[in-house]
Amino acid sequence: MKTVLVKDSQYNLSPSHLKEGSIFGALSDASIYYLLENGILYDAATGDEVFAYGNKGGSFYAVLHGNLDFYKHHENKETHTRTVSFGEAIGFVSMIALHERVGSLYSLENSLLLEISSELFSDFHDDFPFDFGILLMNLSRDMARTIRVLSNVLVENNISVKKIL
């Protein structure tokens, strides 16, 4: 992966376009520009590892273009749990929970990612409190959707949560 400046990106980074993605929906243009200017943009080529199992979880990524695959690790096993696409976030749970990455993330195609560190997330709260609330709601919605999809897999595979817990 390599860093890239907003002005040098080949992708549409206008607020109107980014608002089509769930993470940026309903945010003000000024707050989106703030995140773009203060976050780190990465161009990820096909096959690039964005983060690895066990890495520090001090940030999360918003997908601005492309698709990435997440592989969950547990007890020396790994499985693909989801594909992350435009407008979605990945890594938020590790950042908020203050734990290491629980899986690995790889770019399926050339992708553009915005890394939002815990420091930027905190600054965003201070500088854009209303938009911070919206961003937190958007991230919560995405987490809820992911939980629903993964719990549906449990049902489809007839896996009892009682057996797990």
Give the model confidence (pLDDT) of 70-125 as tens digits: 999 999 999 999 999 999 999 999 999 999 999 999 999 999 999 999 999 999 99
Distance CA 109, CA 91 (A): 19
Higher-confidence residue: 128 or 164?
A: 128
153 pLDDT tier (thresholds 50, 70, 90) = confident
| pLDDT score of 123 | 98
150 pLDDT tier (thresholds 50, 70, 90) = confident
pLDDT over 70, % of the chain: 96
CA 64 remoteness from chain centre: 10
Per residue in 10-44, pLDDT (tens digit) is 999 999 999 999 999 999 999 999 999 999 999 99
Distance CA 9, CA 18 (A): 14
| pLDDT score of 155 | 79
Distance CA 145, CA 24 (A): 16
Distance CA 36, CA 30 (A): 10
Calculate helix-pair angle for 118-127, 129-156, nearest 10 degrees: 130
Flag whether pLDDT at 164 surpasses 90: no
| pLDDT score of 14 | 97
Which pTM value belongs to this model?
0.90
What fold characterizes domain 2-164?
Answer: Jelly Rolls (2.60.120)
Residues in the chain: 165
- Closest Cα to residue 60, out of 110, 99, 118? 118
Per-domain boundaries in the chain: 2-164
Taking CB atoms within 8 Å and a gap of at least 24, the contacts of 140-143 are: 141/22, 142/22, 142/23, 142/88, 142/89, 142/92, 143/92, 143/93
